Amino acid sequence: MAAGSGSRYGKLKQFDELGPNGEFLLEFSIYDAINNGFKHIVLVTKKENKDFLTNYLMNKIPNNIKVDVVVQDINDLPKNTKINHERIKPWGTAHAVWSARNVIKSSFVIINADDYYGKEAFQQAAYYMNTISHDKSYGLVTYKLGKTLSDFGTVSRGICQVDNNKLISIKEHIKIYEVENQIIDEDSGSNLNYNDDVSMNFWICNTDIFDYIENYFKEFLEKESNLEKNEIYLPFVAQEMMNEGLISINAIKSDSDWFGVTYFEDKDNAVNSLESYTSSNKYPSPLWE
């Protein structure tokens, strides 16, 4: 998913050149996915970025990999629905996934374009999809909370309740920060555990989610009072599907490195990490031959 606006970062961070040879962060995820057997890459973005992304990726990604760039369009609504409100911002992460419904025909992974998830996370996801996953069994790759914080401000994280490797629920904490080796939830003032499992939006889903999102979206449009701003979020959809007994979600715990660029100041860590991975031959240089 590459349709965010990067309000805290200050610009479109998805297309910031963070790699040693000017690569975007999303290219490293694409590289790791391809090297773990994924053959179809779908990027969801804004209309104004579609042609750029299509041309950019076609010149880099191997020819045997199918690439689709789809637009998350505010006017892309379920059939027989309409809104009488002025809408400027996208409809949210669940809508971004639904935007890809016409090009995805089998089970798939969802990630953010502005996060680095690590090679091992893609290995774990591929193993799960090839050996465990079935129609009613989804997956969520989780990370330790303490490995996903920023030194430059608060972050929003979905803390997972997990029982016997099954996801029970996700609770969103909007403002989390670390001070003096303690992790604090700013809103409640409570301490959080470094080893708490958190979602970084690395989901493993099947195509039945598209119909569910469509129905969820219809209900949202009928009942929501603030259609100018409110959004439909993927974790909420997943939770509802679990609550209704439609799916179970396996929590796939990863010790892989994760980093993101929530704030512009996070950029140095991202650049240095990618440089280190490349110099240690974790990735080739340049990334694409």
- Region 179-196: mean pLDDT is 95
Provide the pLDDT for residue 132.
81
pLDDT, tens digit (0-9, with 9 covering 90-100), for 61-99? 999 999 999 999 999 999 999 888 788 899 999 999 999
- Region 46-74: mean pLDDT is 95
If you average pLDDT over every residue of the chain, what do you get? 93
Cβ–Cβ under 8 Å, residues 254 and 179: no
- Region 45-61: mean pLDDT is 94
Residue 219 CA to residue 64 CA, distance in Å, equals 40
More confident residue, 151 or 134: 151
Measure the CA angle with vertex 96, ends 247 and 76; round to 5°: 110
Cβ–Cβ under 8 Å, residues 233 and 94: yes
Cβ–Cβ under 8 Å, residues 217 and 98: yes
- Region 188-217: mean pLDDT is 97
pLDDT, tens digit (0-9, with 9 covering 90-100), for 21-41? 999 999 999 999 999 999 999
Measure the CA angle with vertex 163, ends 162 and 168; round to 5°: 55
pLDDT, tens digit (0-9, with 9 covering 90-100), for 90-129? 999 999 999 999 999 999 999 999 999 999 999 999 999 9
**Residue 40: strand pairing partners:** 66
Q: Which two tokens stand for residue 206?
A: 């099947």
Query: Is pLDDT of 212 > 90?
Result: yes
Domains and CATH numbers, the chain: 13-279 (3.90.550.10)
pLDDT, tens digit (0-9, with 9 covering 90-100), for 239-280? 999 999 999 999 999 999 999 999 999 999 999 999 999 999
Query: Is pLDDT of 6 > 60?
Result: no
Quick check: bond before 286 cis, omega within 30?
yes
CA distances from 169 to 47, 73, 117, 141, 182 (A): 34, 29, 22, 14, 24
- Region 204-210: mean pLDDT is 97
Provide the pLDDT for residue 85.
78
